[in-house]
Structure 1
Amino acid sequence: MKFPENWLRQHVRTDATREELAATLTAIGLEVEEMEVLGDNLDGVIVARIVECAKHPEADKLQVCKVDTGNEVLQIVCGAPNARPGLVAPLATIGTTVGTLTIKAAKLRGVDSNGMLCSAKELALDADASGLLELPDDAPVGTPLADYLGLPDARIELKLTPNRADCFSVRGIAFDVAAACGSDVVPFDATPMPALNDATMDITLNAGADVPRFVGRVIEGIDAHVRTPIWMAERLRRSGIRPISLLVDVTQYVMLEIGQPMHAFDRGLLQGPIGVRRARAGESLKLLDGRDVALDDQFLVVTDNDRAVALGGIMGGADTKVTDNTRNVFLEAAHWVPSAIIGRGRRLGLHTDAGHRFERGVDPELPRQAIEIATRLIVELAGGAPGPVIEAVLPEYLAKPSPVVLRRARLARGLGTTVADNEVERILRALGLDVAAHAEGWSVTPPTRRFDIAIEEDLIEEIARIYGYDNIPATLPGGHTRLVAPTETQVDAATARRHMASRDYLEAVNYAFVDEALLASWHAHEGQVPLANPLSAELGVMRTQLLPGLVAALSRNVARQQHRVRLFEIGKVFHARSMGGDDTAHPKSPLETNRIAAVACGPASLEQWSDRERVVDFHDLKGDLESLAQLSGAKLAFRPSTQPHGHPGRSADVYRVNDDGSGEWPIGWIGQLHPRLAKALDLPVDVVAFELDLTPVLSRNIPRAHALSKFPSVRRDLAFVVPEAVQWTAVKATVEAAAGAFLREVVLFDRYSGAGVESGFKSLAMGLILQDESRTLTDRDVEQVVADVVAALQQQHHAAIRS
């Protein structure tokens, strides 16, 4: 927000100096990002009129001008392209210092010159150096320029936080300054202008809660040729807005002063009635900047007889804009809710002052006030006869502020100090809040412009920043912090990070928002959560998986000649909630899940002389994952996967097995990326990866100690021939179920296919480790277990003992 200091001082009276005012604004949370002093040293610069111009005899680009100063006529040599008879412009007289230049009588190419006609840039008033600063024809010649332009002044630019939408106006800032400086905001004249005719237009609202209020007014018989008065033009210019024409400038002026964006239509180009609705797919609109934009039902439009004539809350249309030929004008001021405007301008590459304000929230009670102020300015400056104010409103969609209770004890506890009751009430009332005292504190009702005040902590923040953080004593904590012992049922994420680092992985941190096209290439776009106001089109949705971003990071490293890359990430993924069940409590908030993912490519180990290089594969990554699961003692099972991003036959779905073996549930995926996906991502290497829900991997039962058996264990090795399609996990589950309580571990130590084994079959050699806690196992016990295992494998997997 950019505004001139003198304008602010018209709304709030304070004796604070310019530097004190800037420091106060920053101290109360309205950070002064830049302050530029204007016209601080214009002594000797006066308003003058050029009465005659003649070509310089020795220079084609110079003119010899006769300039009236009010007391005398001076000869000035000037090279400005807009110098002409009748022009009123600033004149720096002899002895005046302009910048680093002191004006002296001089000869320019042999012609006497007794002063300098100045541009806005030379006077440090504006960046325009294209010609002389043109002043209105009625500017009083001989008057000091500083007096005429209301100088000196300062252009102040604030860096506002998104929650302070009410400070995108001079009057909104005035309330905060008044509270901080112990003064009051100057009463504002918004007296309704009486109607002088019955000119009206019908207004219909067809956008529901998105536009609950629309106010308009017809003014007939205005003189659009009238030039914007210098006081208004200068305030606009010092606020960073270039004056255009009176009607446009009035709407901009009202927006800057009270915060309500407006638009002026040429009534003669409207057929009526006026309406507000959602745009239709394929509908187009020519905007004020000359662009033709294609719309869809995400946009809101103002319509004239159902023809789109303005892009709601963002920019007006070119077909109905006001010009110097406009005689009748239709003023519009509406309340567009933030959710209906956020991100719409960005989609079209537009950033407008109106859109910037509506995205953050504008006071829904301002439209009528804005219409009255704009009407008064237009009638006073350009004449005309206003009709009655026309208003369409959907009151059921207009939010009404609710009282917020501020407890005296809670305020003292939150600030760590006591603020006097009368000071609390003074601050809150100066901010424009309605305050009612009661025994325990106050009931405070915020004005409609303060969207950021909804809970007690918001009021405590208001007291703290206005009372002054420097006035709040700094005290050490009392030492009553309650210590919470870490849970034994969950391995903390920091331990998992250290473990992955010990396995030679580097941690990566990626954006939680990604390109929608990237998720689509991974077939991971189902349930994606779009951002209403993305940083860019490439970061438009929340990630549903960690792997797309992690693989992109791996790809960037490979492209920079990193042949061995091993990365992991712990972070959240987001999915849209389905309506129903527990999700109905927060239907719009996404479901967040903590996950861990890892990717690897290149050699399995660092280059060395004692072993030949081997490319990392599925089993290397599976070993890393199982070692991670050992942190919590989690038992994992692997099943062939059909995930579209996984390589067929080289990827698996990962399951967490209940500790008692009663069941299992899916927690993630591991494998090699599908060659088709690798080609689409332009990956020149094979990549193996895994991604799992973090909580199931790190959850564990409370450790329980038990004595080791003092009796010896027995090992029996068996080799079976089974069909090639039979998975080891299925064989292992069968063995564990058949072996019973004596089985301590089953180990696969060989897999063979080839000579001696029938085609389509494979040989699996396993070791059964048996033990009892109460006695030494006999040969009969062991033989019975082996017989049960053989029988179960023969029955369930058609296995045969290998001879």
Structure 2
Amino acid sequence: MKAPVSWIREYVDLPDGVTTEDLTARLTALGLKLEAIESASAGITGPLVVGRVLTMEPEPQKNGKTINWCTVDVGDANGTGEPQGIVCGAHNFAPGDLVVVILPGGVLPGNFEISARKTYGHLSAGMICSARELGLGDDHDGIIVLPAAAGAPGDDAFDVLGLREEVVEFEINPDRAYALSLRGIAREAALAYGAPYRDPADRDVPGPNRDGYPVVVDDPVGCPMFVARKVTGFDPAAPTPDWMATRLQQAGMRPISLAVDVTNYVMLETGRPIHGYDADKLQGPIRVRRAAEGETLTTLDGTLRTLSAEDLVVTDDSGIIGLGGVMGGETTEMSETTTNVLVEAAHWDATSMFRTGKRHKISSEAGKRNERGVDPVITPAAADRVVELLTTYGGGTADPGVTVVGTAPERPHITISYDLPARVSGMDIDAATTVANLEAVGCALVKDDSTLTATPPPWRPDLNDPFDLVEEVARIVGYENVPSVLPRDAAGRGLTREQRLRRRVGRTLAGAGCVEVISFPFIGDAALDALGLPADDPLRTTVRLANPLSSEEPSYTTTLLPGLLKAAARNLSRGASGVSLFETGTVAFPVDRGPAPIYGVDWRPSDSELAKLFEALPEQPLHLAVVLSGERERAGWWGEGREAGWADAIGLVRRLAAELGVELEVVAASRAPWHPGRCAQLRVAGVELGHAGELHPKVCAAFGIPVRSAAVEIDLDLLMKHARDVTPGPDFSTYPQAKEDVALVVAADVTSADVEAALREGAGDLLESIRLFDVYTSEQLGADKKSLAFALRFRAPDRTLTEEETAAARDAAVALAAERTGAVQRS
């Protein structure tokens, strides 16, 4: 909201010496955040003076253009007192007119420097200025012709044009709609300084009578009050007075015509949006109702709109003529031939205005105010102010008929204890201060011994409960006076178990060279198709969002992999040689437990009500996903590098399980989006934890990452459930280690994990570690055979093992592997 300071001062007597900076600082402290302080003279420097045209000689040019060679009296501003010779291309002035002249040495907006230069055969010493050249408007067709009483030649034109006027721009919060007007900003300025305030809406207005234009309101909830006034004999060619056009421009609005400019001016002045109809285009009584589903209206912007049954519309006998409170229709629009104007000042339901504006994607100054809530009491006064300006400057006559349908809605009565502001804010606020501050913002108070009942003013629809009143008291006392008190740390509290475990997970993965990313948790069919998921895959059953950010990703995700794969592809396309990314986040799986109950917001639901609410929520487990792609180990003088693969993915989960003290089981599996022969199912305590392995080549191609990239996705909730809060350190033995290597021939479809599990169990307690170090295939072994070589390490905590003990443990391990997997030891 832009507000000229002189306009603010028109309604409030600010103390002497108050600067614009002082004023904006006080208003910001009250909640009107300052955006900018502007001056109309910004970008203009140097001598800008009033000049009188003495002579004007038209000179046609070869290019078909006619210029005027002028002599202009600028008084002593040029240092000589002699007339100034200036070439001008405009023709809307004559000898004897007062004009605005910038002399050599001056600078216009855009850093346009003025100098004496030869043009069209003359030495032109300055410029006769138009409104656009001074940054005052878009009019570039003619120069500014000043009124005869504007001043004498040589006078400073800055003051004549109001260029030294300062304009402040505030960011207005949605709950302070009253400040979208000079009336509201001036009221806050009066509050800030305790200065006298003159309400521009405080005026005597004629009462309603039977001679007014007929109006019927079928929906008094949507339109509680409708005022109609008529002006006849209006001159559509009457110009907008300069002072009004200037104020509109300073407030950021473009002057259009007197009829339109008056409604905009009153809206800025009072905050009450006004709409004007060409009365001669109306057919029969005006009626306010809800639209029928599918009805249409062409609005003032030329758009044909299909209406909803929730839209409030204004109609006459011809049909719909306006979208109530949002935008008028084309059929009754005021034009350059309008001589009879019907003025509409109506109060509209804010919620309906907001929904209609959103539904039709209409953003207007009127809609912005109506949807936030406007003072309903001043509706007759705003209409009367419009009539006054139209008749004063447009030559019209006010019709004696006055229509007022409905009354302003009543404000709620709010009971508050005297000490509540002090208890909430922590400031020393006594009862007298509470009473004084509430009265200062316009509340009507009824006091008793311990409480007072406040009726908020009609221009404050945001005041509805005791804590709204606390905020009003506190902001006047000053938020800078709120004491700074550090919260006391409750003993015995800290991070929860889940928080500690999640941090351990993050540290472990970071230590393994992975980088955490956060991606949007939304998904569409395209991503699920790219993962190669079959049509009946559970991951395709998603929770659809009621209001998705994107129609292409309308559901909450069931897997973290799409976001990670997109991030990996983006990094690789930017030149990264390899990526190791991980993400932790919730996924959602729908459950059919019926719709969620909807409770009010004025009380806390009971435990049983909360339980019913949570029952309707989808399952939302916490998942962990990892993507490894490209270079895993760099090449250098130490040797060749290595690409990431399936073993790295499984190794990360093994490392994570070891850190959390969880025993992990790895078995072969086939699961999209992994490669069928290079995928492992991960289990904890016999329950599926997730999968890891090499991604299918088609998936890699779909996401634009190298083939043989690997990925992991596990249920982190399940992993943390079985995690140890403190992982015990390893037991160390001072006795030497005994080494045994075995090579076992097994069928090609036997997994190394099965063989390893059998060896581990058969070796018994003396086995310290086991590692697969070679896989060998050859024609001699046979096409359906492979050789697996394991390194077994034995150690006892209390003695040095003998060869017999080591051999017995090895043989027992091999025997159990042979029994379970058909393994045969190679000699």
So what's the TM-score if we normalise by structure 1? 0.71
- Change in Cα spacing, 1:50 to 1:510, as seen in structure 2 (3 Å) is farther
Letter in 2 for 1:62: N
1:425 aligns with 2:425: no
- Distance in 2 between residues matched to 1:273 and 1:218, nearest whole Å: 15
* CA shift for structure 1 position 223: 1.9
What's the CA shift string for 1:172-198, capped at 9, x where partnerless? 333433332223543332646635635
* CA shift for structure 1 position 156: 0.9
Partner of 1:5: 5
- Distance in 2 between residues matched to 1:426 and 1:84, nearest whole Å: 58
Specify which of 189, 193, 198 is matched with residue 186 of structure 1.
198
Letter in 2 for 1:580: A
CA contact (8 A) 2:228 2:383 kept: no
Instruction: Specify the SS of the correspondent of 1:568.
Output: strand
**1:203-242 matched pairs, under 5 angstroms:** 203-204=217-218, 215=226, 217=228, 219=230, 221=232, 223=234, 225=236, 226-242=238-254
- Change in Cα spacing, 1:463 to 1:265, as seen in structure 2 (3 Å) is same
Partner of 1:796: none
- Distance in 2 between residues matched to 1:402 and 1:367, nearest whole Å: 20
- Change in Cα spacing, 1:748 to 1:146, as seen in structure 2 (3 Å) is closer
1:527 aligns with 2:543: yes
Partner of 1:465: 475
Specify which of 656, 659, 669 is matched with residue 628 of structure 1.
656
Specify which of 229, 248, 265 is matched with residue 253 of structure 1.
265
- Change in Cα spacing, 1:38 to 1:425, as seen in structure 2 (3 Å) is farther
CA contact (8 A) 1:490 1:632 kept: no
Instruction: Specify the SS of the correspondent of 1:551.
Output: helix
Partner of 2:513: 504
- Distance in 2 between residues matched to 1:256 and 1:597, nearest whole Å: 56
Specify which of 599, 602, 617 is matched with residue 630 of structure 2.
602
Partner of 2:211: 197
Partner of 2:67: 61
* CA shift for structure 1 position 406: 5.8
Partner of 1:14: 14
Letter in 1 for 2:648: D
What's the CA shift string for 1:476-524, capped at 9, x where partnerless? 6486765623334652544433322211122335567899987897787
Specify which of 32, 35, 38 is matched with residue 33 of structure 1.
35
Instruction: Specify the SS of the correspondent of 1:554.
Output: helix
- Distance in 2 between residues matched to 1:708 and 1:103, nearest whole Å: 89
- Distance in 2 between residues matched to 1:521 and 1:227, nearest whole Å: 65
Letter in 1 for 2:628: A
**1:72-83 matched pairs, under 5 angstroms:** 79=88, 81=90, 83=92
1:323 aligns with 2:326: no
- Change in Cα spacing, 1:732 to 1:584, as seen in structure 2 (3 Å) is farther
- Distance in 2 between residues matched to 1:222 and 1:761, nearest whole Å: 106
**1:289-300 matched pairs, under 5 angstroms:** 289-290=301-302, 292=303, 300=311
- Change in Cα spacing, 1:183 to 1:392, as seen in structure 2 (3 Å) is closer
- Distance in 2 between residues matched to 1:149 and 1:476, nearest whole Å: 53
Instruction: Specify the SS of the correspondent of 2:500.
Output: coil
Q: CA RMSD in A?
A: 6.3
- Distance in 1 between residues matched to 2:380 and 2:713, nearest whole Å: 57
Instruction: Specify the SS of the correspondent of 1:61.
Output: strand
Instruction: Specify the SS of the correspondent of 2:660.
Output: coil
**Deviating more after overlay: 374-383 vs 24-33:** 374-383
Partner of 2:166: 154
How many residues align structurally? 763
* CA shift for structure 1 position 588: 12
Partner of 2:710: 688
Partner of 2:600: none
- Change in Cα spacing, 1:81 to 1:500, as seen in structure 2 (3 Å) is farther
* CA shift for structure 1 position 242: 0.4
Letter in 1 for 2:198: V
CA contact (8 A) 1:250 1:377 kept: no
* CA shift for structure 1 position 580: 2.9
Partner of 2:642: 614
Instruction: Specify the SS of the correspondent of 2:581.
Output: strand
- Distance in 2 between residues matched to 1:592 and 1:445, nearest whole Å: 46
* CA shift for structure 1 position 705: 7.4
* CA shift for structure 1 position 336: 4.2
- Change in Cα spacing, 1:306 to 1:644, as seen in structure 2 (3 Å) is farther
CA contact (8 A) 1:80 1:132 kept: no
So what's the TM-score if we normalise by structure 2? 0.70
* CA shift for structure 1 position 241: 0.2
* CA shift for structure 1 position 23: 1.9
**1:708-719 matched pairs, under 5 angstroms:** none
Letter in 2 for 1:554: A
Partner of 2:403: 388
Instruction: Specify the SS of the correspondent of 1:33.
Output: strand
- Distance in 2 between residues matched to 1:7 and 1:642, nearest whole Å: 76
- Change in Cα spacing, 1:631 to 1:102, as seen in structure 2 (3 Å) is closer
What's the CA shift string for 1:701-751, capped at 9, x where partnerless? 5559799899x9999999796894x98889999999x99x99999978488
Instruction: Specify the SS of the correspondent of 1:491.
Output: helix
- Distance in 2 between residues matched to 1:234 and 1:252, nearest whole Å: 13
CA contact (8 A) 1:98 1:123 kept: no
1:559 aligns with 2:573: yes
- Distance in 1 between residues matched to 2:378 and 2:691, nearest whole Å: 56
Name structure 2 gaps, 5 residues minimum: 76-82, 532-538, 598-609, 798-804
- Change in Cα spacing, 1:481 to 1:377, as seen in structure 2 (3 Å) is farther
- Change in Cα spacing, 1:184 to 1:707, as seen in structure 2 (3 Å) is same
Identity %: 27
- Change in Cα spacing, 1:64 to 1:524, as seen in structure 2 (3 Å) is farther
* CA shift for structure 1 position 21: 0.6
Specify which of 414, 418, 421 is matched with residue 403 of structure 1.
414
Letter in 2 for 1:22: T
Name structure 1 gaps, 5 residues minimum: 794-798
CA contact (8 A) 1:47 1:140 kept: no
- Distance in 2 between residues matched to 1:367 and 1:75, nearest whole Å: 53
What's the CA shift string for 1:61-88, capped at 9, x where partnerless? 225489999xxxx998562525235998
- Distance in 2 between residues matched to 1:351 and 1:591, nearest whole Å: 40
What's the CA shift string for 1:424-449, capped at 9, x where partnerless? 33223323345555666655565565
CA contact (8 A) 2:583 2:624 kept: yes
What's the CA shift string for 1:31-77, capped at 9, x where partnerless? 322212347999999999989965258994225489999xxxx9985
- Distance in 1 between residues matched to 2:590 and 2:178, nearest whole Å: 32
Letter in 1 for 2:512: R
* CA shift for structure 1 position 677: 5.2
**1:128-167 matched pairs, under 5 angstroms:** 131-133=142-144, 153-167=165-179
Specify which of 347, 350, 355 is matched with residue 340 of structure 1.
355
CA contact (8 A) 2:293 2:307 kept: yes
- Distance in 1 between residues matched to 2:638 and 2:117, nearest whole Å: 89
- Change in Cα spacing, 1:477 to 1:561, as seen in structure 2 (3 Å) is closer
- Distance in 2 between residues matched to 1:83 and 1:446, nearest whole Å: 54
Partner of 1:579: 595
Partner of 1:23: 25
- Change in Cα spacing, 1:462 to 1:202, as seen in structure 2 (3 Å) is closer
CA contact (8 A) 2:190 2:197 kept: yes
Letter in 2 for 1:11: Y
CA contact (8 A) 1:514 1:543 kept: yes
